[in-house]
Amino acid sequence: MEKIFKGRVVVPGEATLTALVSHGGFNTLASYKDCKEGKNICTDQNNPDLFGKSTVGVALCLPQTIGSTTGGMVFFNAAVINCNPGAMLFSKPIDSLAAAGAILASVWTPNNIPTVDQLGDEFLDYVKDGMTIEIRPDGEVVVRD
């Protein structure tokens, strides 16, 4: 079974990835405290959805980012050392810092992070960890069981 959501493209790209879902805001600085080449286990103890899980190469499904003004640079630096999410999918409008990090990663590293926002609250209600996510260049996001 599949369901299609349509959002706004922030960073274009195509990918088929496994979903990792956060129902709370994603604190980039708190989540990447132990980021190493090709590896990141979420260190944000205030995010029970993600704490202790790998955020590398997944479709990170979240409402929004929260926290430090360093958020954009955290995403960019994660891409530099290959420990970035494979895509970021926001139910709400993306903030300028997360957008800047995703855009910088796509321009200055080989690690494009397809990013789509404004997918709606229904998106986060529907998607679950481990589901297959297909991201299309036009902002369509297909979620499959």
User: Does 110 score more than 80 pLDDT?
Assistant: yes
CA distance 19 to 16: 10
* Domains of the chain, residue spans: 2-144
In this prediction, residues 100-127 reach a mean pLDDT of 96
Of 32-36, 47-51, 101-105, 112-116, the one with minimum mean pLDDT is 32-36
CATH topology for 2-144 is Glucose Oxidase; domain 1 (3.50.30)
* pLDDT, tens only, 68-92: 788 899 999 999 999 999 999 999 9
In this prediction, residues 14-35 reach a mean pLDDT of 95
> In the prediction, which pLDDT does 39 show?
93
> In the prediction, which pLDDT does 68 show?
77
> In the prediction, which pLDDT does 37 show?
87
Work out the mean pLDDT of the chain and round it to a whole number.
96
> In the prediction, which pLDDT does 129 show?
98
Of 18-27, 37-46, 52-61, 63-72, the one with minimum mean pLDDT is 63-72
Write the DSSP assignment of 74-140 as a string of letters. Answer: HHHHHHHTT-S-SEEEESSPPPHHHHHHHHHHHHHSS----EEE---HHHHHH--TT-EEEE-TTSE
User: Does 36 score more than 90 pLDDT?
Assistant: no
User: Does 34 score more than 90 pLDDT?
Assistant: no
> In the prediction, which pLDDT does 69 show?
86
